Amino acid sequence: MPPNIATPPEVSPPARIDSAVVAQTPAFSPLYQQIKGLILQSLQAGEWKPGELIPSEIELAARFRVSQGTVRKAIDELAAENLVTRRQGKGTFVATHNEEHVQYRFLQLHPDVGRQQDEGRAQRHILECKRVRATVDIARSLGLRSGDSVLQVRRILSLGGVPTILEDIWLPSQPFKGLDAEKMTHYPAPMYAMFEMEYGVRMVRAEEKIRAVLPDIQQAQWLQTDENTPLLSVERIAYTYNDRPIELRRGLYRTDSHHYRNTLS
C-alpha cells in the first residue's frame, strides 16, 4: 500500500492511519511534500489565479485529509519560494508580479542614489516585435526544436527618463498567441504581470549570467551612449512551474548611474 495520498480522497480511514505509514519506503516523499505538489498542481492549473485567495489551511487539510500542521508546512515552503504570500488574518494569496510594492520583482538594477520608487514606473519603448524561427541556441535555451516559431521582442526601458536597458526577449510562440507590439506598448503593468494576467504564464524563477561587454554602434545609439562605454550583459532564462524555461532575455544595462544588486548568504 503506497503511502501517497489519493488524489481526491473519497472515503478513507482516519488521517492518522494514512500518515502513520508515510515515508516508510525511501522512494516516497513526506506527506507535506505530496501536499505541496498537489497545491502546486492547482496553482499551475489556474484553479486559483494570481492575486487570489487560496483555500484556508483548515479547508485544505480537510480536502487532503491531513492535519492542518502538514498543510502549513507545505504552504510554508511555497511561501519561501515566493509562489504564495501569507497574510495573517486574511489568508494565503497566489503571488503575482503585479503587486504595488514589488513591481519588477526580477529587475536587480537599482539607482546609485535614491530609491527605485522615486523614478516612478519605467518607460517602455518597443523597437521590434515579430515571430521568427528559433536559432539553435535560442531553441536549446527554451527547450524547443530549432526552427520552432518564437516571438522576438526588442525594447528599451528608460529609468528616470534615461534609456538604461536594451533587451532582446524570446518567447515560445504558442502560449503567447495574439501578443504584439501594440499590446505590449499600451499594457498598463510590467511585462510579467501581463504574462500572468493575459496568458496565464507565471514566471516563478530565473537564472542570470552576467558579463561586461562593449556595445556595437547600433546598441550604443539606442542607449544614447557610445561604443567605448562598457555595459552589463545580462542573460536571463526565466522558468515557469516545473522548472520549464519559458523566456530567454538578453539585456544590456547602462551602469553609469545604476548598479546591479545582489545579496549573498
Partner DNA sequence: CAGTGGTCTAGACCACTGG
Partner DNA sequence: CAGTGGTCTAGACCACTGC
Q: Which helix (H) or strand (E) holds 237?
A: strand 231-240
Name the grid cell of 157.
526601458
Q: Is 147 left (phi over 0), alpha (psi -120 to 50) or beta?
A: left
| Residue 16 contact among a copy of itself, DNA, none, beta carbon within 5 to 8 Å by kind | DNA
| Residue 6 vs 127, nearer CB to DNA | 6
Say how far residue 104 (Cα) sits from the centre of its chain. 10
What residues pair up with 54 in beta bridges, in sequence order? 92
Q: Is 17 in the site for a copy of itself (CB under 8 A)?
A: no
| Residue 204 contact among a copy of itself, DNA, none, beta carbon within 5 to 8 Å by kind | a copy of itself
Name the grid cell of 242.
516545473
Nearest-approach distance from CB 244 to DNA, in angstroms: 25
Q: Is 94 in the site for DNA (CB under 7 A)?
A: no
Q: Is 214 in the site for a copy of itself (CB under 8 A)?
A: yes
Among 4, 6, 23, 47, binds DNA (CB under 7 A): 23
Nearest-approach distance from CB 100 to DNA, in angstroms: 14
The rounded distance, in Å, linking the Cα atoms of 152 and 190 is 17
Q: Is 42 in the site for DNA (CB under 7 A)?
A: no
Q: Is 86 in the site for DNA (CB under 7 A)?
A: yes
The rounded distance, in Å, linking the Cα atoms of 187 and 66 is 43
CA distances from 25 to 3, 22, 32, 128, 150 (A): 8, 8, 15, 54, 44
| Residue 35 vs 134, nearer CB to DNA | 35
Q: Is 72 in the site for a copy of itself (CB under 8 A)?
A: no
Q: Is 229 left (phi over 0), alpha (psi -120 to 50) or beta?
A: beta
Q: Which residues bind a copy of itself (CB under 8 A)?
A: 80-82, 105-106, 108, 204-214, 228, 230-232, 236, 253, 255, 259-265
Q: Which residues bind DNA (CB under 7 A)?
A: 14-16, 18-20, 22-26, 30-33, 54, 56-59, 66-70, 72-73, 86-92
